[in-house]
Structures are given as C-alpha cells and as structure tokens.
Amino acid sequence: MPPVEVEWKSGRIVCHLPITQPTSKVRIKRGGMPLAPRQNNLKDCDLIEWQISYRNREGRLSELGQMLRIGYRKGAIGEDVLIKLQKFGDNINKFFDECYEITVEVTEQKFLGEFTVLMRQVPIVQRELTNGCFVEGELKHKQRAVGYQPMLYVFIPVQNVISRHGGLVGRPACKKEVVDWCPSVDDIIGITRTFVVLSRKHRDDIQNIIHRLLQYR
C-alpha cells in the first residue's frame, strides 16, 4: 500500500491519491458502497474515500501531518491558524468517543420465524469542507480492547480531482491511476478540527504535531 504523497507545487498543496488499489486507504464509493473504478465509468456523484493518516509507522509526519508542515513552511497556513487550532483543542472537555456509543436495538421482527432481528446504530460526526468535500468520524469498536477507536475519512467528489489522464467523470480509471487533489487551507483546517474532537488521544497527537511545528520556525 503506497501512502498518499503530499507536495508543494505551483503555490498549492497537492495530494497524490492512488485510486485503483482496493486494499489501500483510498477507495471509490458510490451510494456508500465501494466501486471497482477500473470496471465502471465514473459519475459525478462518485466519491473518493480517504482514510487519512497524520503519522506513519516510523513516527514521521504523513498525509495530514505533511499538509500542516508544508502549508506552514510555505506560508499558506499562518502561525495564527495553528495557534487557533491549539486553542480549539485546549477547550474541548468531552470528546466524540466519550459522548456517543454504538447501540444495538432488539426488535420485535422475526426473520424466517426462528431469528430475531437486531439493529445496530453507529454514531458518525460529519463536517463539510469546501467544494463538496466533507469529513466523517465514525465510532468503531477497538480491535483487541474495550472502548472505541474512532476512524476519520475524507470524502472528495471525483469531479474535484484530475490526473495526467484528465478528469475521471465519464470513464473508468486507468491502470494504477493516481489523481491529484489540492485541498484548500479551510479543508486542512476542517480535517484537523475533526481529528481533534474524535478522542482525547487524537487531540493530543494533533496538538503534539502542531506544537512541534510552532517550535521550529
């Protein structure tokens, strides 16, 4: 799984998203379902779903972490913006994972007479970004422990990206196609604010990244 590369190009932050690896953190979705982009003509209602990271396994900044660092170093993201994000984090006393839980309702419904039907409700926070993009934070049960591990996803309409093969709408994706998305500063702020509210751990991680950036320059 190649990570998403982030670079500064022509005065903008550019994210290079590989859209054809089904096991990667970047997928195409249509109506909430994964779609095989090599086998389908893409439509303007299709979304790129990106499970964005901020640090990699080695502890280096990745993806959102790199956007914040590059944006700050190049002057696109001001010191005032980073300080405001720190204050936003300082003022949170209840995080999303502490306020909501996954619930299971036992209904009266029977399936084929012998089965009871249960309904699971999963809390999701959603925040709009610019140009039809949005972020979601979804509660998940921790894999090997009690408690929740909220997961954050960025959604980008396929109309908003281009690659060297041009726009995506009206054609299938090419082999190993990588598309470019240029997030606005407001997009980067919106994603960061969503991470900050998800859980205390996410808030602390993000504040640690911003603190180090502010120390540096």
What is the binding site for ligand ADE (CB under 6 A)?
51-54, 150-152
Q: Which is nearer to ligand ADE, 38 or 127 (CB)?
A: 127
Q: Which is nearer to ligand ADE, 9 or 201 (CB)?
A: 201
CA distance to 6, 46, 53, 208, per residue, from 157 (Å): 19, 6, 19, 31
- For residue 51, the minimal CB distance to ligand ADE (Å) is 5
What backbone phi and psi angles, to 5 degrees, belong to 135?
-120, 145
Distance of alpha carbon 26 from alpha carbon 18, whole angstroms: 7
Q: Which is nearer to ligand ADE, 42 or 69 (CB)?
A: 69
Q: Which is nearer to ligand ADE, 15 or 42 (CB)?
A: 15
Residue with the CB atom nearest ligand ADE in the bound state: 152
Q: The tokens 């209904």 sit on which residue? A: 107
Q: Given CA atoms 132, 121, 31, 67 in this order, what sign does their dihedral have?
A: positive
- For residue 150, the minimal CB distance to ligand ADE (Å) is 6
Q: Tokens representing 89? A: 């984090």
Helix axes 200-216, 185-198, angle to 10 degrees: 130
- For residue 151, the minimal CB distance to ligand ADE (Å) is 4
- For residue 82, the minimal CB distance to ligand ADE (Å) is 19
